[in-house]
Each structure stands twice: as C-alpha cells, then as structure tokens.
Amino acid sequence: MQYALGYDARAIIHVIDYSALTDNALFAMLPDRQHRDRAFAELYRRYSSRIFAYCLKVLGEREAANDAFQDTFTRFFNSARVDREMTNLPAYLLRIARNVCLNEKRAKSTPVSIDDIEVPAFDTPYEKTELLQLISTALELLPLQYREAFVLREYDGMAYAEIAEITGITEESARIRVFRARDKIRMILKPYLVDLTQ
C-alpha cells in the first residue's frame, strides 16, 4: 500500500459505509471530529424530508418552515456534542422540531377549537393538483395540536405511541386527535373530494 504521505508507516484502513450504519451508531459518531461530517450528512439524508414536512405543514408558511427546519437540525447537531444515549432518533428530531414550531406558533396564532372551524366555501373548480393546496389550507384551519398529530401520522409516518411520546400525551389521546383531524379535513374538502372521486 502506498501510503498517503509517502513514507513507510504502519496503517490501518477502515472502510466505513455510513449508509449501512444504524441511527444510533451515526449519532454516536457525531461528537467525533473524524466522522462528524459524514455521519450528520447521512442522518440528514434520512430524516430531512420528514422534518421539513412537519415544519411546513405545522407552520403553514414556507419561509417560517425553512427557518424552523434549519433551527431544528442546528439544535440537533449541537445537542449531539454532548454524550447522550439515543433510543429513537426520528422521535428526537421531531421533538426538537415541535418545540421550535410551537415557539413560532405561540408568538403568532391564537388557539381555536376544532369544533369552531367553519368550512369555507370553495366555489372555484379545482384540479387534482390543487388538492394539495386545499389540504394545506385545511391544515391551517386546524388547531395546532390536531394539526401536528395529523402531520406526524400522515406525513411523518409516526406510530401513535411515538406521537404520544413526542407530544407528551397518551396513545389514546394521540389516536383521537388524528381521527378528529382527518374528519375535519374531510369535512372541509368534502365538496372537492366528491368531485375527485367522481
């Protein structure tokens, strides 16, 4: 082996495939300067979509979502410098994102009960591609706790137990919130969903 520095020295070559490592193994590498960059890049590749979807759907504004998303991963990166044991990294990331988004929402929004939501009248014919925008609009009409439960379930694929862990509620309460959020969105989009199914 021709070593990098051109002189005879004993060397041990470690071949590291970061994509094959578990979340916990990658997280354990973050405090190590030698592996920090690659480990973080791999974790970012795995969970950036989930986190960005959560921030975007909960906050409803792309600019605010961009800031919350960056803030989330920055806090995650900094927290990884402290030696801590990680059991559920996606939930940990979403918990950070939730705190960031909640802080943002508390500064701007007022609480609204899900029963008080009035279904808007959409008179304009829509196309299928507009359904996504309608869903986003419907999400914005939901109270925060129902919105985040719906996003965690539908966009992030979290189990009800994980949703309960992240939001600090019971699993049954998490299930009820998701059910009620679905029903409300369905009610909001009912006229358009009828056209869609037809």
- 33 lies in the binding site for another protein (CB under 8 A): yes
Q: Which of 22, 24, 41, 84 binds another protein (CB under 8 A)?
A: 41
- 190 lies in the binding site for another protein (CB under 8 A): yes
- 172 lies in the binding site for another protein (CB under 8 A): no
For another protein, the closer of residues 110 and 173 by Cβ is 173
Q: How many CA atoms lie within 13 A of 139 on its CB side?
A: 24
Report the C-alpha gap between 104 and 12 in whole angstroms.
49
Is the distance from CB of 122 to CB of 192 less than 8 angstroms?
yes
Is the distance from CB of 138 to CB of 185 less than 8 angstroms?
yes
Report the C-alpha gap between 86 and 100 in whole angstroms.
20
Residues that bind another protein (CB under 8 A): 3-5, 7-18, 32-38, 40-41, 44-45, 48-53, 56-57, 66, 69-70, 73-74, 77, 131-132, 135, 154-155, 175, 178-179, 182-183, 185-186, 189-190, 193-194, 196-197
